[in-house]
Structure 1
Amino acid sequence: MSTEHRSAAETGRLPLSPAQHRLWFLQQFDPESTQYNVCLGYELRGALDVEALRRALTEVVARHDALRTSFPAERGRPGARIKPPGEVPLPYVDLASQGGDAAEFAAAQVARPFNLAAAAPVRANLLRLGEQRHILLLEMHHIVIDAWSVQIVTAEIGELYAAYVKGEEVELPLPQAGYADYAAWQSGLLGGEYLEREFAHWRERLLGAPAVLPLPTDRPRSVSQTLAGGELPDAVPPPLAVRLRGLTGELRSTMFVTTVTAFMMLLARWTGAYDVVLAVPVAGRSRPEFHATVGFFVNTVPLRGDLSGDPSFRQAVAQVGSATLDALEHDSLPFDMLVDHLGVPRDPTCNPLVQVGFQLLRTPHRAQPARWHDIEVEEWDGVRQQVTRLDLELHVLDTAAETVETLLCYRTDLFDGSSAENLLAGYQSLLAQVVADPDLPLSKLDVSPRRVTNEGTRSGAGADTTENGGM
């Protein structure tokens, strides 16, 4: 962080980024809300050095200003105050002796709201499950963290822990910039001619776009949204995943474009709407000096698919691919600023402009657990945050040549679990059809809920398993 910003941080006069300001406002609107709490869990197996872990966590928080930032308000306007480095509390909870349940403990922690004005939005707990089995819980508010930042924090804890266990001192390279530098840079960017050009671009791209996608929900929308969510994991059968990659290469496309195009075509058949706008998260780190900075950088861009005229999958991939490149070239404009500028009516029952999200994550397959020195480390799946901020979110996990996994998140006040299962089965069915014949027009795609077997064929009531016979 620059000297100027560090001096301002001591008095709480640092500005927030537009994304931070939005989360701060939402927290003021509902101080007890936990929808933006982020809870991470790591299972640690082996002879754990608790003091080395405590030192590593303290050093990581000291390295990253965002993790020591509180957000006090003055005259109704928030500022950022960065607290000096200090030891990070790491309460040690012996669940093995107490007979407690780790999942219940984690649920109670993530249900505690953060006081953004008074405290740094980071909490940590170490749970003992046995002599050589622990769980490290980290809870943070989304206002200071995103998925990219999580990877930075996890990697640095592991590297520092290994050094401290061996009695070595390690000096990791300092981040080139702090989050306050990013907020200042973004503030300077979003003004004048640049801002007008971006507004003009998006006005043109979103002209006539539907305000709401007519999803066939199981229950009507309510003004009092619960945001309670369900999760449905699944996996694309390996033969289909391999052929999907082959088709992606044949179309000179990317896995993101082919999988999001298939999802758009599914939604078009499911809703009867052929103008589909999805929310797509972007990392927001276009400048290299921010690559090692912890903070809330992620932004949402609207991706519009024009599926009118009964296109084939091949044709739709070309259109969506062009729209994707265009959107990524104009991804710096904060989503809320765009919505406000477009004058999109605010409907308390749903998200403005986009109600469905899509994300492709490249997560390299790890055959063995990670290691922090002699400790085996794996993400702990006992953390459950059943919240979704959109009606539907499809996450595609691109892990290996033969492995493509999916996770469908859905609002449980709108959809039954059976509807989510049908939608995900329809997605796999559609993938199987377009892989078999990418020139099949949209109107001929069958999106009924038929499972795809490991042989790559579709099964279910009325399924014609000879249709995709080469899979």
Structure 2
Amino acid sequence: LTKLEAAFQEIVKRHEAFRTSFHTVEDELVQSIHEDVALSIEYSKKAPKVSIDTMIKNFIRPFHLSEAPLLRVGVVTVSEDVHFLMWDMHHIISDGISVGLFMKEFEALYKGHTLSSVPIHYKDYAAWQQTQTASERYKKQEAYWLNRLDGELPILDLPTDYSRPKVQHFTGSRTGFEVGQELTKKLKHLSTQQGTTLYMTLLGAYQILLSKYSGQQDIIVGSPIGGRSHAETESIIGMFVNTVAIRNQIQPTSSFDEWIQQVKERVLEAYEHQAYPLEVLIEKLGIPRDLDRNPIFDTAFSLQNIDQSNISLPNVQVQPYNYLFEVSKFDLTFQAVEANHNILFDCEYSTHLFNVQTIKRMGLHYIQILESIVENPQILLSEIELVTKEEKKELLDEFNDTTTAYESQVCVHHLFEDQVTKTPHAVA
């Protein structure tokens, strides 16, 4: 525990992000960097009737932005040989790459290694970013996004299981599915043939899925991007991630290989103009704020490429604990990660809109699209079917079982009324 505390304290000392608090001065938000910040590790013992998930849930609680550090560390002792190490940090000071960096530094410091000093800090990047607002490059990026998102923006209207609340809730859940090694191999081959990346192919299929479900052709999907375009930022813990809005118009008469070239063009344009902050773009567009939706887009897609390998510590066996975070930032997010020649999907969804069966079925339909495009890249988008073989059998053979005899003189609406009488509280 002494080594544990020393390692975390050294990380706080190394990175200004963990010694930062935020304050309002003359109606402006400013960051204050403290010279010394003490990190107190929270120790507790697991009670017999309390689950570890409950303890984790209680550990995750709001931070006070005016109080540093915006990092919390806890240790839960289950037995003499079993402990849970937890840490939580505010998103304002960290991103996914920061988490991987944090883990690597903790491992090295726990082992007693000496780390080289951090060359620059997040405030240096923030100051440089502010100087860019007057540059020609910044103005060019702003002009691109204002033009790309000009006019009335489409509101994605997915069919939901529950009515949309008047005020947006961020309560959510997750479920997953995998593509499989054979289909993954075919998707990579298809991407090579089309001159695209795997990300572009998967994103293109996702926008087809959304179009099929919504019946809309103008689709906007948010996609996070690392934002660390300079080598000096690779060793900094901080919030660099930006989100780009990828807008595509789907023409049902286009073939998939024509469609994926449009996706490729839009993605490359988005990457070229990725430095323009989303929050600034929202203000510039002057989009009316709806309490029940996110501005610009309500769904996101990502292909993760973050190194978050397991920690290796001397005399300690370490393994990650799979905790279900009950949060969804958007209505629906498909997060893909490539592992062991397979593509794994983690679907984050709003539980105020969808139930888990709907999201699982959506995953099956997504795979159906992927199988259709690898089998025939020239297939017209209008000809891509969502219905799986199993669903076809269910619809045509099981639901359409015509062996039941009905009285020929009874009208359909009378049969309906009879069923209402038999099961008045059942779903119609």
Q: TM-score band (shorter)?
A: 0.7 to 0.9
Which whole-Å CA distance do the structure 1 matches of 2:233 and 2:253 have between them?
Answer: 43
Which residues of 2 match residues 19-58 of structure 1 at below 5 A? 50-58=1-9
CA contact (8 A) 1:257 1:324 kept: yes
CA contact (8 A) 1:362 1:399 kept: no
Q: TM-score, normalised by structure 2?
A: 0.87
Partner of 2:246: 303
CA contact (8 A) 1:358 1:393 kept: yes
**Residue 98 of structure 1, CA deviation:** 5.8
Which whole-Å CA distance do the structure 1 matches of 2:227 and 2:105 have between them?
Answer: 21
Partner of 2:411: none
Partner of 2:189: 246
Which whole-Å CA distance do the structure 2 matches of 1:215 and 1:424 have between them?
Answer: 15
Partner of 2:70: 121
Query: Residues 192 and 241 from structure 1, CA distance in 2 versus in 1: closer, same or farther, beyond 3 angstroms?
Result: closer
**Residue 385 of structure 1, CA deviation:** 2.0
Partner of 1:149: 98
CA contact (8 A) 1:279 1:357 kept: yes
CA contact (8 A) 1:71 1:78 kept: yes
Alignment of 1:340 with 2:340, yes or no, is no
Which residues of 2 match residues 211-226 of structure 1 at below 5 A? 211-226=154-169
Query: Residues 336 and 187 from structure 1, CA distance in 2 versus in 1: closer, same or farther, beyond 3 angstroms?
Result: same
Question: SS of the residue aligned with 1:318?
Answer: helix
Question: SS of the residue aligned with 2:393?
Answer: coil
**Residue 134 of structure 1, CA deviation:** 1.5
Higher gyration radius (CA): 2
**RMSD of aligned residue pairs (Cα, Å):** 2.0
Q: Percent identity?
A: 28
Partner of 1:392: 332
Partner of 1:423: 362
Which whole-Å CA distance do the structure 1 matches of 2:22 and 2:187 have between them?
Answer: 46
Partner of 1:435: 374
Which whole-Å CA distance do the structure 2 matches of 1:159 and 1:310 have between them?
Answer: 56
Partner of 1:292: 235
Partner of 1:101: 51
Which residues of 2 match residues 454-469 of structure 1 at below 5 A? 459-462=390-393
CA contact (8 A) 1:142 1:296 kept: yes
Partner of 1:203: 146
Partner of 2:409: none
**Residue 99 of structure 1, CA deviation:** 5.7
List per-residue Cα deviations over 1:394-431 (Å, max 9, x = no partner): 00111132x11001111111122222122111101111
Which whole-Å CA distance do the structure 2 matches of 1:139 and 1:194 have between them?
Answer: 36
**Residue 463 of structure 1, CA deviation:** 8.4
Which residues of 2 match residues 248-397 of structure 1 at below 5 A? 248-362=191-305, 370-382=311-323, 384-397=324-337
Structure 1: segments with no counterpart, 5+ residues = 1-49, 164-169, 451-457, 465-471
Query: Residues 395 and 209 from structure 1, CA distance in 2 versus in 1: closer, same or farther, beyond 3 angstroms?
Result: farther
Which whole-Å CA distance do the structure 1 matches of 2:155 and 2:116 have between them?
Answer: 46
Which whole-Å CA distance do the structure 1 matches of 2:33 and 2:295 have between them?
Answer: 33
Stretch moving more, 100-109 or 189-198:
189-198
CA contact (8 A) 2:154 2:218 kept: no
Question: SS of the residue aligned with 1:276?
Answer: strand
Question: SS of the residue aligned with 1:379?
Answer: coil
